[in-house]
Chains A and B, each alone.
Chain A
Amino acid sequence: MKYQSQAVALPYFVAAIGLFVGQILFGLVMGLQYVVGDFLFPEIPFNVARMVHTNLLIVWLLFGFMGAAYYLVPEESETELYCPRLALALFWVFLAAGALTILGYLLVDYATLAKYTGNDVLATMGREFLEQPLLTKIGIVVVALAFLFNITMTVLKGRKTSITVVLLLGLWGLAIFFLFSFYNPTNLVLDKFYWWWVVHLWVEGVWELIMAALLAFVLIKVTGVDREVIDKWLYVIIALALVTGIIGTGHHYYWIGAPGYWQWWGSIFSALEPIPFFAMTVFAFNMVNRRRREHPNKAAVLWALGTGVMAFLGAGVWGFLHTLAPVNYYTHGSQITAAHGHMAFYGAYVMVVITIISYAMPILRGRACNSRKAQVLEMWSFWLMTIAMVFITLFLTAAGILQVWLQRISDSPMPFMAVQGQVSLFYWLREISGVIFLIGLIAYLVSFFVKDGDKPATT
C-alpha cells in the first residue's frame, strides 16, 4: 500500500462482499419461489425477495465502487486521501442506511414503510430498483456528494491521470443521474421515460466509465504496460460507450408511449452498444499479452480478463439479442430480459468489483498477493461462479424463448401463469445453477482465510 489512507477501502470491500452473499441468498429464495410459489410465504413474499435481491446488488456494487475509488484515487493522484475520516464516517452511515432499508423491506409491509418514511411528502417509492424509501434516497445523495467531494478534492490536489478523470466523470454521472429518482411524474409514460435516466444511463452509460477506469487501473498494475497506450484506448472506449449508450436509451422507449422514432433510434444505437464492450475485451487481452512483468497475483489477472469476456457476452451479445424493436416486440419483459440482466450485471459490474478487490485486498492486508493455495481456491471460485452464471443465463434464455413462443407467438397463445408452469423445468435447472454459484461464492469467501504457511506465491 503506497498511501496510508488507501486503507479506508478495506471496510468498503468487506461490506460489499457481505452484501453480495445476502444478494445471492435472496436470489436463491426467489429462484425457488418461481417453482415452489409459497416457499417462505407469507414471511418473505416473492416481490420482497426480488426487491432485496436487486437492491442489495446495487448497494454492494456502490460499496465496491466507493472502495475502489478510495483505493485507486490516492495511488493515481500520488497523494493521501483528502479526508480519510470522512470516508470512514460515510462508510458507517451508508452501511447503517442500507441495513435499515433492507430490514424495513423485510420486517414491515411496503405500504407501512412508505407511510413512515415520508413518501406522502414526496412520492418516490414503488418503482422497480428505486424502491428505497425517501429517507434512504436522501441518504444516498448525501453520502454520494460527500464521497465525491472527498475524491474530487484528492484528485485536484494531486496528479491528474486519464484514469482518475474517467473515474470521476463516471462517479459524478452516477450521482447526477440518481437525482432523477426523485422525479416521479404522475403521467406513467413520463415516469417510465425518466426512470430509465437512472437505470439505463447508469448501467449502459456512466457505470461503463467506472468499469473502464477500474479495469485500466488493474491492467496497468498487473501488466506494467505503458500508461500512454492504456490512456488512448480508455478514451476511445468511453467515447464509444457514451455515444452508443446515451442514445441507446431509446431501446427502452419502444412500447411505453414514447414517440415512434425511438424504435429506429433505439434499435440502431443500441445495436452498436456491444462495440465498446468488445473493445474492452480486446484491450484487456492485448494488455495482458504485451505485459512487461509477471505479476504474482494471477487471480486478479484472471478476474480482469474474465470481466472483459463476460461483460461482452452478457451486456453485449445478450443485450443485442433482444434490442432490435421488431424482436423486442415479442421478447419485451420476458425471461430473456432476466437472462441478459443476470449475465450483464455479473460480467460487467460484479466481476470488475471483484477484480479490484482481488488486486487490492492482499495489498491492503500487507502482501503483494495471496498464497498460491489461496489463489488456486480463488480461481476455482472464479470458474464455479462464472460457469454457473453462464448456465443460469442459458436456462433463462431457454425459458424465455419458450415463454415468448407459447405466450406471444403461437396460434393459440397461453396465459402467463400457464406458460410459467410449462417452463418450470428450466427454472429448476436455473435454481441448481444458482446453488453452484453459491458454492463458488463460498469458495471465494474461504479463499480469504486460507493459510498456506502464509508464503505469498512467487513466480
Chain B
Amino acid sequence: MHAAKHTLSPSLPAEPRLAGDLAIWIFILAELLAFGLFFAAYAFARAHDPALFAPEQEALNRNAGAINTALLLTASYFVVRAVHAAEAGRGRQGARWLLAALGCAGGFVVIKLAEYVAAFNAGISLSSSTFHMFYLSLTFFHFMHVLLGMVILGALWLNARRGRYGPRDMNGIESGAAYWHMVDLVWLVLFPLVYVIR
C-alpha cells in the first residue's frame, strides 16, 4: 500500500495518503471504541472477582481459540496479498486471494459455532455467571463482526473478479481490507484477554 505508485511524478516524495475511505476509518474507530469499552468492562469486572473468573476461564477450549487466531491471521495475510495484487494491476489474481481469505474466515465460523454448541450443552448462558456473560457477549459480538467482514470480503471478491480494482481504483478494496484487519486485530486482543491471561 505504497502511495508513491499513485503519484504522477515519481521524483517527488509521496504525500501521506490514507489507505481506504475516511468514512470506513470513522466506522472502524467507533467499532474499536465499542470493543475497547467492552474490554475495559471485562477487566473491571474481573478485577472485582478473579476467583470466580479463573476456573471458568480455565474451562475454555484454548486450542480452538489458538486455531481460530491462526485462521484469522492467515485470512489477513491473504487480504494483504489481494490488495498488493490489485495495486500491481493484477486484480483478478487478487480475487483468488480474497477467496482464500473467505475460506479461512469460514473455518473460524465453524470452529466458533462448535465452541458455542459445547458451551450451551454445558449449560453456559448469559445469566450463568459474570464471566460467561462476558465470554458469550464478547465472542458473539466479535463473531457478528466476522460475519460482516465475510460479507465485505465477498463483495470485494465479486468486484475483483469483474476486474474493478487496480492501481487507479484502490478505494474499495483498501476500505474493505482495513475493516477486515480491524476484525482480526480485535480478536488478537480478545483471545489472550478472555482465553489465556489469568
Contact = CB atoms under 8 A, between A and B. Distances in A.
B41 interface: yes
A236 interface: yes
B23 interface: yes
Given A261-B137, A264-B133, A279 B26 contact: yes
A174 B133 CA distance: 32
Interface string A257-285: 00111001101110110010001000000
A275 B36 CA distance: 15
A261 to B, nearest CB: 5
A257 to B, nearest CB: 13
A233 B23 contact: yes
B137 A265 contact: yes
A272 B30 contact: yes
B126 interface: yes
Contacts of B37: 268, 271-272
What does DSSP make chain A's interface, helix, strand, loop or mixed? helix
Interface residues of A, number: 20
Contact of A268 (B26, B41, B126): B41
Given A260-B127, A268-B38, A232 B33 contact: no
Contact of A235 (B23, B30, B45): B23
Interface in B148-184: none
A165 interface: no
A231 to B, nearest CB: 10
A407 B121 CA distance: 46
A146 interface: no
Interface string A36-64: 00000000000000000000000000000
Contacts of A103: none
B21 interface: yes
Interface residues of B, number: 16
B21 to A, nearest CB: 7
Nearest to A236: B23
Interface string A226-244: 0000001101100110011
Interface in B73-119: none
Given A268-B38, A275-B33, A239 B27 contact: yes
Interface string B22-44: 01001100100110011001000
Nearest to A231: B23
A270 to B, nearest CB: 11
B41 A264 contact: yes
B137 A272 contact: no
Contacts of A235: 23
Contacts of A279: 26
Given A232-B21, A269-B34, A271-B37, A264 B137 contact: yes
Contacts of B34: 243-244, 268-269, 272
A148 to B, nearest CB: 28
B157 to A, nearest CB: 22
Given A232-B23, A233-B23, A275-B30, 4 more contacts: A244-B34, A259-B126, A265-B137, A272-B37
5 pairs of A and B residues whose beta carbons are closest in the complex: A261-B126, A261-B133, A232-B23, A236-B23, A268-B37
22 contacts: A232-B23, A236-B26, A236-B27, A240-B27, A243-B34, A244-B34, A261-B126, A261-B127, A261-B133, A261-B137, A264-B41, A264-B133, A265-B137, A268-B34, A268-B37, A268-B38, A268-B41, A269-B34, A272-B30, A272-B37, A275-B33, A279-B26
